[in-house]
Chain A
Amino acid sequence: MALSGIAGQQRAIDFLRRVLKKETVPHAFLFSGMQGSGKLASALELARALNCLSPHDHDSCGVCGACRKLREGLHPDVVHIKSDGTSIKLDQIRELVKRFRFRPFEGKYRIVIIHDAQRMLEVAQNALLKILEEPPQANLFILLAPESQMLLSTIVSRCCQVRFQPLDESHVADILVREDGLSPESAASVARLAEGSIEKARWFCGQNPEEGWKRVIDRMESLGEICILDFFPMISQWAKGCENAERDFEFIKLWVRDLILFRVTEAQKTGGACRGAGCGLTFDLSERSLKAAGQVPLEHLFILYQKVELAMQGFKINANLQMSLEGLCLAIKDFLYGKGDWNSFSKRGKALSF
């Protein structure tokens, strides 16, 4: 593969190729965009195009010694900086700065790729700033980060920013078929879940998405009928038996997204004639939740989406899973199915044990 082989990032790649063609390579790039949108692949391809021994049309040949070493991660002039634990530490940057005392060893350029640059501690960023301000010759920095705002503005202002968009579903599916050997059908269904991120798509591939989805959505749909007395044991059971909470939250988010999509598209007006994958929904949704979604104000659904995001963020910073789920599910019960369902007892008049 060469730079021109990167799928789905036409604008970014066109820009990089223009830079190569004009031979006006800046000293630092900031590739920003969500995880799995092809930032690292592009950075590596750029490194290859710059250090290729026999480039044609300003792109790498893919067969020379330098291209081979780069592909196998053995090129002495490509330096990867990755987080040590949860952050990129000052010592790592200091160690890196020491290497700048020398010219690149065998390539034309030394390429420093900083993975998850947002994880750099502030002191580390300031140390890096020093070298970004007085860039030594024949060195290229490539910072990878989801958003440029996550870095110090002084760093951002010294980098040439390249934005990477989320990939199209079709591109994600293509990559899954080509590189991961998935069947076109399952690739398409996973791609729909992935929100334009190949990394997320690969993560879903290993999670048995269909089955997990079904289990979570059953629970979501039961929220409309379940009485409060049954609600808490159900959530408690869910939290205890949960194998992959992050995935479950993802599914809840996708489900709410689907409801919003359904609410705003024509499908809602035509009485739910168009449903499922055909109109962009992730999976088939039941009549009950579609009906509920059609009746509540659209704002309620947006509030729900925000709540799911908040719960996910909370969970990432170690919030209690059961409490996060309880809060989220009560909000869904409230905003989607209405207060009428806050019954303490089961409607079916089940015999209670007290």
Chain B
Amino acid sequence: MKFQVEKANLVQVLQRIQSATEKKTTMPILNNCLIKASGEGLLEFSATDLELSLWTEMAAQVAMEGKTTVSARKLLEIVREVPQNTISFELDAVRGRLLVKAGRSRFELSTIAAEDFPNIDLYQDLPLTSCDAEVLRKALQKTLYCIPMEEESFATPGLLWHGTEDSNLRFVSSDGHRLSYYEVPASAFPGFQMPVEIIVPRKAVQEMHRLLEKESEVSIGMGEKSLVLRTPGAFLSTLLLEAEFPEYENIIPAERPYAISVPTEILFPALKRVALVTDTSYRYVKLNIGKNSLELQSGNPELGNANEIIDIDYDGADISIAFNVKYVMESISAMESETIRFEWVDDGHGGIFLGPEDPGYFSLIMPMVV
């Protein structure tokens, strides 16, 4: 194998695949990335951590075809530090070394044979259907914040995708304290065949979101145990979580007798202000709602307290209900709406935050006892 590449392109590609390389050393080959040079001037890079696999390609001047694996992190560090714009690579197959040459610097990296790399080509022949990248990106962005980092008893560390009765596609995430979902018409994913429901792991959701930020042309496909996303220059495949998502619909109150609407540009800065006196142990914001007024109240015995009154249009029973201020702010930031609609039943049920101008979005936050 022998080829020459532009430094800037290579850095970009190597950065992209870093997230799929394993950081732990249980299987040394997972720290490596697979490099494949083919005769048509194409260079392919793949990496996997056995959960998420990434494949990208770039143009290069290939003098000799071949493939091998080297440490992905070291290769990126080297390429980044090299001042020259063109870097040449050559595989010494006999000694199992990859020679990296740029100007007068020369590196010899140890390699592991490409045949030993986990077989990640196997998802590439799945039928793919094109989908609306923007819709998918929004769906992921609006639900990502609710996916828990770790598995807990009532929380699955993944994003649930499922079809609804009115043939929409719903993306649901919940960490056991709050829940959010985003519903899109299934027509945004024409021809996408999905079983009853799938759960996409958190890391994959993050990576898909990152990939979608830069691309507009995306196709998606699904196998028995994996989900794949393909953009013109990259290919992402993730294994699906084999878990059961809690029956989240049971906690959403069907009838919410009370509701208020507040302009986002008033509510959000006000929340930000009262949040200044909260910390990790005192993190509530209390919404005291009375006739035509909403009082935000927060406090911390060590720092002091804060309150702010907002005029609203309301003529119902008085209520006082507290939420984690961070949750409320995150939920509001995910919305693209000029007004926020807050609906509730009583202080024992979850409060619902909706954006009337962002119809697919729904968020529920469980109240706190203060």
Chain A partners chain B: yes
A residues with CB within 8 A of B: 65, 68-69, 72, 74, 76, 98-103, 105-106, 136-137
Q: Are A101 and B29 in contact (CB under 8 A)?
A: no
In the complex, what's the smallest C-beta–C-beta distance from A207 to chain B, in angstroms? 32
Stretch at the interface among B54-62, B114-122, B315-323: B114-122
Given A65-B119, A101-B201, A106-B122, the answer on whether A74 and B241 have CB atoms closer than 8 Å is no
Nearest-CB residue, chain B, relative to A136: B242
Given A74-B27, A98-B151, the answer on whether A105 and B242 have CB atoms closer than 8 Å is no
What A residues does B243 contact at CB under 8 A?
101
What A residues does B122 contact at CB under 8 A?
106
Q: How far is the CA of A105 from the CA of B22 in the complex (A)?
A: 14
Q: Which 5 A-B pairs have the closest CB atoms?
A: A102-B239, A103-B225, A76-B118, A74-B116, A106-B119
What A residues does B242 contact at CB under 8 A?
100-103, 136-137
What B residues does A98 contact at CB under 8 A?
151
19 new A-B contacts at CB < 8 Å, known A76-B27, A102-B201? A65-B115, A74-B29, A76-B30, A76-B118, A98-B151, A100-B242, A101-B151, A101-B241, A101-B243, A102-B50, A102-B225, A102-B239, A102-B242, A105-B48, A105-B118, A106-B118, A106-B119, A106-B122, A137-B242
Q: Identify which of residues 79-100 in chain B touch chain A, using a CB-to-CB cut-off of 8 Å.
A: none
Size of interface on B: residues with Cβ below 8 Å to A = 20
B51 within 8 A of A: yes
Instruction: From the candidates B115, B116, B239, name the one contacting A105 in the complex (CB within 8 A).
Output: B239
What A residues does B157 contact at CB under 8 A?
101
Q: Are B50 and A69 in contact (CB under 8 A)?
A: no
Q: How far is the CA of A72 from the CA of B225 in the complex (A)?
A: 26
In the complex, what's the smallest C-beta–C-beta distance from B368 to chain A, in angstroms? 29
Q: How many A-B residue pairs have CB under 8 A?
A: 42
Nearest-CB residue, chain A, relative to B117: A74
What B residues does A102 contact at CB under 8 A?
50-51, 201, 225, 239-242
What A residues does B51 contact at CB under 8 A?
102
Interface SS, B side: loop
Most buried by B among A72, A102, A136: A102
What A residues does B239 contact at CB under 8 A?
102-103, 105
Q: How far is the CA of A101 from the CA of B151 in the complex (A)?
A: 10
Nearest-CB residue, chain B, relative to A106: B119
In the complex, what's the smallest C-beta–C-beta distance from A78 to chain B, in angstroms? 10
Q: How far is the CA of A65 from the CA of B48 in the complex (A)?
A: 18
Most buried by B among A99, A100, A101, A103: A101
Nearest-CB residue, chain A, relative to B225: A103
Most buried by B among A65, A105, A106: A105
What B residues does A137 contact at CB under 8 A?
242
Q: Identify which of residues 94-116 in chain B touch chain A, using a CB-to-CB cut-off of 8 Å.
A: 115-116
Q: How far is the CA of A72 from the CA of B112 in the complex (A)?
A: 12
Q: How far is the CA of A300 from the CA of B197 in the complex (A)?
A: 72
What B residues does A99 contact at CB under 8 A?
50
What A residues does B27 contact at CB under 8 A?
74, 76
What A residues does B48 contact at CB under 8 A?
105
In the complex, what's the smallest C-beta–C-beta distance from B238 to chain A, in angstroms? 9
Q: Report B208-243 CB contacts with A as 1/0, cut-off 8 Å.
A: 000000000000000001000000000000011111
In the complex, what's the smallest C-beta–C-beta distance from A134 to chain B, in angstroms? 11
20 A–B contacts from the bound complex (CB under 8 Å):
A65-B119, A68-B115, A69-B116, A74-B27, A74-B116, A76-B30, A76-B118, A100-B242, A101-B151, A102-B50, A102-B51, A102-B201, A102-B225, A102-B240, A103-B225, A103-B239, A105-B48, A105-B50, A106-B119, A137-B242
Q: How far is the CA of A231 from the CA of B243 in the complex (A)?
A: 69
Instruction: From the candidates B116, B118, B119, B151, name the one contacting A72 in the complex (CB within 8 A).
Output: B116
Q: How far is the CA of A103 from the CA of B201 in the complex (A)?
A: 13
Q: How far is the CA of A137 from the CA of B240 in the complex (A)?
A: 14
Nearest-CB residue, chain A, relative to B121: A106
In the complex, what's the smallest C-beta–C-beta distance from A56 to chain B, in angstroms? 21
Q: How far is the CA of A103 from the CA of B118 in the complex (A)?
A: 14
Nearest-CB residue, chain A, relative to B24: A95
Nearest-CB residue, chain A, relative to B239: A102
Nearest-CB residue, chain A, relative to B157: A101
Q: How far is the CA of A69 from the CA of B243 in the complex (A)?
A: 29
Nearest-CB residue, chain A, relative to B238: A102
Q: Identify which of residues 152-209 in chain B touch chain A, using a CB-to-CB cut-off of 8 Å.
A: 157, 201
Q: How far is the CA of A102 from the CA of B27 in the complex (A)?
A: 17
Q: How far is the CA of A68 from the CA of B114 in the complex (A)?
A: 13
Q: How far is the CA of A68 from the CA of B157 in the complex (A)?
A: 34
What A residues does B241 contact at CB under 8 A?
101-102
In the complex, what's the smallest C-beta–C-beta distance from B242 to chain A, in angstroms? 6
Q: Report B44-83 CB contacts with A as 1/0, cut-off 8 Å.
A: 0000101100000000000000000000000000000000
What B residues does A136 contact at CB under 8 A?
242
In the complex, what's the smallest C-beta–C-beta distance from B173 to chain A, in angstroms? 16
Q: How far is the CA of A65 from the CA of B225 in the complex (A)?
A: 21
In the complex, what's the smallest C-beta–C-beta distance from A303 to chain B, in angstroms? 49
In the complex, what's the smallest C-beta–C-beta distance from B78 to chain A, in angstroms? 25
Q: How far is the CA of A137 from the CA of B115 in the complex (A)?
A: 28
What B residues does A105 contact at CB under 8 A?
48, 50, 118, 239
In the complex, what's the smallest C-beta–C-beta distance from B198 to chain A, in angstroms? 12
In the complex, what's the smallest C-beta–C-beta distance from A76 to chain B, in angstroms? 4
Q: How far is the CA of A72 from the CA of B118 in the complex (A)?
A: 13
In the complex, what's the smallest C-beta–C-beta distance from B261 to chain A, in angstroms? 41
Q: How far is the CA of A105 from the CA of B226 in the complex (A)?
A: 10
Q: How far is the CA of A136 from the CA of B240 in the complex (A)?
A: 14
In the complex, what's the smallest C-beta–C-beta distance from B339 to chain A, in angstroms? 39
What B residues does A100 contact at CB under 8 A?
242
What B residues does A69 contact at CB under 8 A?
116
Q: How far is the CA of A72 from the CA of B27 in the complex (A)?
A: 12
What A residues does B119 contact at CB under 8 A?
65, 106
